[in-house]
Every structure is written in C-alpha cells, then in structure tokens.
Amino acid sequence: MQPVAAADITAEGGAAPSTIPGPRPLEPLGVEVPSTVPTHWYNLAADLPVPVPPHLHPGTHEPLGPEDLAPLFPMALIQQEVTTERYVEIPQTVREIYAMWRPSPLVRAHRLERALGTRARVYYKYEGVSPVGSHKPNTAVAQAYYNAVEGVMRLTTETGAGQWGASLSMACALLGMTCEVWQVRASYDSKPYRRMQMETYGGICHPSPSDLTEAGRAMLAKDPDTTGSLGMAISEAVEAAVKDPGAHYSLGSVLNHVMLHQSVIGQEVLVQLAEAGERQADVVFGCAGGGSNLGGLTFPLIGQNLREGTTTRAVACEPAACPSLTQGEYRYDHGDVAGLTPLLKMHTLGNDFVPPAIHAGGLRYHGMSPMVSHAVELGLMEAVAVEQDDAFAAGIEFARAEGLIPAPESTHAVAAAMAYARTSASDGEVVVIGLSGNGVLDLAAYSAYV
C-alpha cells in the first residue's frame, strides 16, 4: 500500500497558502532536515484485524460525515481522522520544525539497570528534548499547519498540566496564528509556570471552568469550587471555536489524527533499536491519559507485530485515580462534559467524572483514545493502574540514577517498568520506557516526595 501524499490530503482543504491574507510562514525554509526525521506518519488502522468503530453524531447517533466536523477541524485533519492508509506524508514545513528536536534520543539506562539489579536491557525514549519539554509538539505543529493552510487565524484548545497548551501556543507562534487555551483549574493554580510558558509564546490562558462560556458558567453554577477536568475544559474550548467563524478547535490527544501525528515516536524507536543491535522491544511501557504519547510510542511496534510476527508487549500505565482502561466501561460516550463533542467508542469513566486533583494533570481525563481502547479490546495492548505515591517514588529513583527528572505523567510508565524489571524481566530482555516529557516545571509536585 503506497503512502498518501500530503497534497492529496489537503486538496479539499480550502485556500492555498499563497492566497491567505497576511504573512503566513507556511512555505518550507529549504533548510536541511536529517534523514532520520520520519517522512511519513504511520496509521495503525491500516493493520488492525477489525476496524475502529466510527465516531457518531451526538444528535442522530449516525456515523459522522466530513460536514459534521468542518466547524471544528480543517479538511486535511478530517480526512486523516478516517483514513485507513498505512502512511501519510508529513509536509516539508512540518518536518523542518520537527527537525528542531527530532529524532529524539533513545537512551540505554545503564545506571538505572544497575540500581534495579536487573539483567534486562532498559531503554527510554526521551521526548523532553522538544522546545516545550514534551511529546505534544508532534501533533501541535501538524494541526496548526493544516489549519493555517485553510486560512484559520485562531485556534482554541484545552490543557491539563499545560504541556499541550504550551505546545499549541508555540506552534501557533511559529505559523503566524493566535491560540486561546482553557486550562483545568487544578493545574492552572498549581502550575503557574506552564501558563507563563503559554503567554511567552503569545497564547492566552484561562482557568477552566470559566465565566467566559455558557458551558463554563453552567459548571460553576453547579459547583463553584470545582477543581475542573479536561472534559470541562474541552466543552469551553469547543464552544468558543464554534461561535467564532474564524476559529477552529484543536485537541491534544484522543482522536485518530493525533495518534497518527505522534507515530513519529514509535517509528524512531524501531530504527534506533535496530541501530543498537536489538531484534525487537520485548515490553514497552507508556503513560496513559488520553492516549497520545502511548499510541505514538506503541502503535508502530504493534503494527510490526501484526505485519511481521514480532512479539512486543505494549503496556498502558494509567493513574489509579483516573483508571479509564482498567475500570472504565467500553462504550460510546462524549469526550466532554457538556456533550458538545461527537460520541466516541472508548473506555470511559463517564463524561461527568471529575478525577481528583492529582499532580499528573495531563492524565486527568475520563476517557481513552478510541484507537487505544480498541487495541486493548483486541488484546493488542495491556493496561495497569499506578498509584501516585508509587509513581513519584519511581520518578525520584529514575532521576537519581539517570539524571533526568520525568514529568509526573511519565513517572507512571517509569514505575510500571521498574517494577517489571525488578521482578519479572528475563535476562537480556529489552524493556522500553516512554519518557513523554521532563518535570522541570513540575518540581512543586515533587517537593512533597523528596
């Protein structure tokens, strides 16, 4: 099956870059991009034995059509949401921006192996080298680019810990757009430097729920002291986008096109493991909230299992305080609290579920990506729940062995991987940890554990 060309995807995507008013930095600069930066995104849908259930219209409960999503997303992303092609070409402008930090390193954790007393070979894929310190720019840049191609000047979004809000703010700055972010109140209050990071890039950040939207005012009327949730923030960002004909909404996780963009992570892992002389990864651990880091890390490896017969195990590591995969129901549900979003077939705790104000703000989501949920249902991925205390203890041990302070979200994968390496891993087994970001702006969260 041949890769899909970027020109094919954007053919219905509105105005060409040259006709968009004002200076829009969409054309490639012509700078050299390392050959190790992927040229295409990988789509697991092409290799799944059973298709992912379609998204449904919230009113009719019929499968969504492109016209249903057009108020929120550019046509290129709508087409990526439903494509079953194995590869989608990455526009050169996006690859040039990726080259600012990609390929991210795959590091052999020798000192951690010694500290754990394991004979397994432990690696970590470190996404904290991006300008904002996480994996989120992999999709933020792509989404901002396709919106800019359509002539959209403003994007609205939600964010938990702030890594996604900062990433989209950065992407909008690079592509001549504006960005407005609704941040979950618990994280807005506890992580002021994330808000400052967004504002430095030119983004506007509001605590959610806010009094700026009908959805936010209704939530505050119901519970004035709510700590907020990603579901609440999504409702506000979607409402703001729908009411502005010059704006679109952008989502940092969950949807299929986000999983697609994040696949650069796992594609690089496959190449880097081969360069290190490894036949395959035996077990891969990734933190799980909405699913973007987890899917990006594991889907290319699961695809290799399906096509080539490798036997890599993929383990989703979610917080025990928000256990959608391990305790949620697999059913259709809204992605937001107000019921403004399509119905998604996913593992869910219920769209009105408000998780505790855990430090791993990026994992406080009631549902899981439909593609990740489907992979779990098919037995292609496993899931475990990790307590916050165990996660931070593992993050501290990792930092003292390897020198890197993981983001609180990533500590869940670190904790599960370390427990496995200590107790279950065989001699010579290859264990890969997805280190989705760094914790340098989350040190206040660590302070209670040191």
- The DSSP-derived string for 163-200 is HHHHHHHHHHHHTT-EEEEEEEHHHHHH-HHHHHHHHH
Whether 38 is covered by a domain: the verdict is: no
Instruction: Tell whether 281 is covered by a domain.
Output: yes
Q: Please give the pLDDT value at position 15.
A: 32
Total domains in the chain come to 1
pLDDT at 10: 35
- Single-letter code of the amino acid located at 181: V
Helix H or strand E encompassing 111: helix 110-116
- Report residues of the chain scoring pLDDT below 50: 1-21
> What is the reported pLDDT for 6?
37
DSSP 133: S
**Given this model, what pLDDT does residue 336 score?**
82
The length of the chain, given as a count of residues:
450
Confirm whether 275 is domain-assigned.
Answer: yes
Per DSSP, 204 falls in state E
Residue 1 belongs to some domain of the structure: no
Contacts 24+ apart (CB under 8 A), 209-215: 209/185, 209/233, 209/236, 210/182, 210/236, 212/236, 212/240, 213/239, 213/240, 214/239, 215/239, 215/337, 215/338, 215/340
Residue range(s) defining the domain that contains residue 346:
101-134+256-449
Is residue 397 in some structural domain?
yes
Tokens of 62: 């019929």
Question: Where residue 312 sits, what CATH number does that domain have?
Answer: 3.40.50.1100
Inside any domain, residue 396? yes
In a domain, 329, yes or no: yes
Domain assignment of residue 145, yes or no: no
Count CA atoms within 13 Å of residue 380 on its CB side. 26
Which is nearest to 130 in space by CA: 362, 438, 347, 427? 438
Model pLDDT, residue 206: 97
